[in-house]
Structure 1
Amino acid sequence: MTNLRIGVMYDRDWAPEELPGFARRAEALGVDDLWVVEDLGWTGGVSAAAVALGATERLRVGIGITPAPLRSPALLAMELATLARVFPGRLVSGIGHGVREWMEQAGVAPRSPLALLEETITVVRALLRGERVTVEGREVRIEDIGLVHPPAEPPPVVAGVVRPRSLELSGRVADGTLIAEGHGPRDLERVRALLAKGGAGEDHTLSVFAFACVGDDPDAVARALHPSTEGHGAWLGRPQEEVFTVSGSARQAAGKISALRSAGADTVVLRFVGPEPLRQVEAVLGAVGR
């Protein structure tokens, strides 16, 4: 699968202190990317990315995703610039709306989530390019701010979005789009059409998260996946059996990764469930010829 990046998610439920060792082992296995999570109450995405980058030498680390309402765009750009200068070419920053209920719990729910996301991504990208920024937007207000230490190589800023208007927004303002777990090849056809409608060019990347479980016992694989696919099916508004996963034997999992690639994915990030996730990583990488 030439040119396809294969990544693994460090699940939000795994202990933060075990991240450095996991990152080193994933890198040794040949994984291209490691993605960390920022969900309210779990772990901070920027700090987790710094831990993973500092523990490894070549691994690209993605932040998936920082909720725009929780982050000042000026501060977020400062944090990303620091990481991008210390670890050039090894960072991807995902930004999204955030779960509405969580944003309300934190007291930061915006009046217009679409405006906030667009303005945040636009400001962060401009600051990372070394520009001085003044914005009087619906949600973001910035007056004559620039970074003293912008990175020579600005990291990609991708939008983690699902809904049609948000996908169009991503095509308009982001370097790429990150698609949540449960979306399969047929979903990616719709996604690509909406991104193009927003103005995405050929350099706009498409990364896909996918629940993954690899094993030779189909019943054990199904049992391991069940809580994840049940909850995500409810969130996506589709039957549980229609929640796409990269699962089954290693060969079957490799076939599903290939299908995502054929549908336009540039990066597939596997969110493993079940025992021994690194053993599962190794099996998948072997099946895809890595």
Structure 2
Amino acid sequence: MTGDQLAPRVGFMFDRGRAPEELTGFAAELEAIGADDLWVVEDLGWTGSISSAALALAATERLRVGLGIAPVALRNPALLAMEMGNLARVHPGRLVAGVGHGVPEWMRKVGAETTRKLALLEETIVAVRGLLDGDEVVLHGREVTVDGLRLVHPPAEPPPIVTGVVRPKSLELSGRVADGTILAEGAGPAEVVSALEHIGRGRAAGDRPGHELIVFAFLHVDDDATRAAAAVREVVAGQAEWLGVAPADVFGLFGPAKGIPAQVAALHEAGAATVVLRPIGDDPNGQARAAMAALGRA
């Protein structure tokens, strides 16, 4: 899908800085206030996405849980498919399998960096999808080898595999072989449109039936817009440096809650099917409640 449904899915991220023991309560609260999604993080040194997703899925009944993201350089595709398959089998229709290249500096820290990032990502997606579909996979690629493996317990409903990528070549690859793409925090409507152009070129060369564009966006709710800007200044500066843009160009939902519906709508109109809000600062649960109330979904 792109952004053609009547309203986008709205989810929230469980920030990597929060204590892991807070996750199940946050997931249950999101479900109670009507959120569609919860996205968990896998950043080196913080926490693992598979274990986090398992906790969140077990604590809820309806909430969709996304991996944002599992770096393919850290995970053998067979093991990744086994873990994802278990979750998808026990919680059908509720897992989104997010994968990506991983932050180069972090991959170097653990000896996992590769120079053939595009090949590794594509071959991992192909292998994992085949295994989740219940196929016997034989793949002798440039980066991935799977020689005649089949999952004993494949899920009845394989999860969609989406990529968290940034660069044009990776976006095109995502359009060609993945079921969706995650855009990192800071992407506004213009960046959504630009990304969809690259994704569209990939889709034209691929055979996937649909493609869900998922946009992560910073959130800080405060009736005082100046105070909100000050509260997120450091986070925005760090993200701007990572994206290679000016801080002023980092899109976010900062300020009074009444502004949230228009900003979410702008992302949706540009093509986002799902908007995942990442609360910054104190009281992330309260910020999630405020956002859902402003959107009329609580």
TM-score normalised by length of structure 1:
0.98
Q: CA deviation at 1:31?
A: 0.9
* Map 1:47-86 → 2, pairs under 5 A: 47-86=51-90
The aligned counterpart of 1:264 is: 271
The aligned counterpart of 1:113 is: 117
The letter of the residue matching 2:13 is M
Q: CA deviation at 1:248?
A: 1.7
Q: CA deviation at 1:25?
A: 1.0
The aligned counterpart of 1:254 is: 261
| Cα offsets for 1:63-87 (capped at 9, x unmatched) | 1000000000000000000000111
CA distance in 2, matches of 1:20, 1:235: 30
The aligned counterpart of 1:179 is: 183
Percent identity of equivalent pairs: 56
CA distance in 1, matches of 2:138, 2:108: 28
How many residues are matched?
290
The letter of the residue matching 2:246 is P
The aligned counterpart of 1:37 is: 41
| Cα offsets for 1:131-176 (capped at 9, x unmatched) | 1111111100110011011111000110100000000000011010
CA distance in 2, matches of 1:285, 1:212: 12
Task: Report the CA distance shift for 1:258/1:3 in structure 2 as closer, same or farther (over 3 A).
Answer: closer
Answer yes or no: is 1:21 the counterpart of 2:25. Answer: yes
CA distance in 2, matches of 1:287, 1:2: 17
Find 1:240's aligned residue among 244, 247, 260: 247
Secondary structure of the residue aligned to 1:208 is: strand
The letter of the residue matching 2:44 is L
CA distance in 2, matches of 1:2, 1:188: 18
Structure 2 stretches lacking a partner, 5+ long: none
Secondary structure of the residue aligned to 1:210 is: strand
| Cα offsets for 1:212-260 (capped at 9, x unmatched) | 1111011221111111110011111111011000222112122111100
Find 1:97's aligned residue among 74, 97, 101: 101
The letter of the residue matching 1:34 is L
The aligned counterpart of 2:132 is: 128
Structure 1 stretches lacking a partner, 5+ long: none
Secondary structure of the residue aligned to 2:68 is: strand
CA distance in 2, matches of 1:16, 1:138: 37
Answer yes or no: is 1:143 the counterpart of 2:158. Answer: no
How big is the alpha-carbon RMSD for the aligned residues of Structure 1 and Structure 2? 1.2
8 A Cα contact 2:54 2:87, kept in partner: yes
The letter of the residue matching 1:265 is A
Q: CA deviation at 1:108?
A: 1.0
The aligned counterpart of 1:160 is: 164
CA distance in 1, matches of 2:26, 2:273: 23
CA distance in 2, matches of 1:157, 1:199: 14
CA distance in 2, matches of 1:56, 1:224: 31
Secondary structure of the residue aligned to 1:62 is: strand
The letter of the residue matching 2:105 is E
8 A Cα contact 2:35 2:63, kept in partner: yes
8 A Cα contact 2:225 2:254, kept in partner: no
Higher relative contact order at CA 8 Å, sep ≥6: structure 1 or structure 2? 2
The letter of the residue matching 1:266 is A
| Cα offsets for 1:39-75 (capped at 9, x unmatched) | 1110010000000001111111001000000000000
* Structure 1 ranges of 4+ moved more than 3 A: none
8 A Cα contact 2:80 2:128, kept in partner: yes
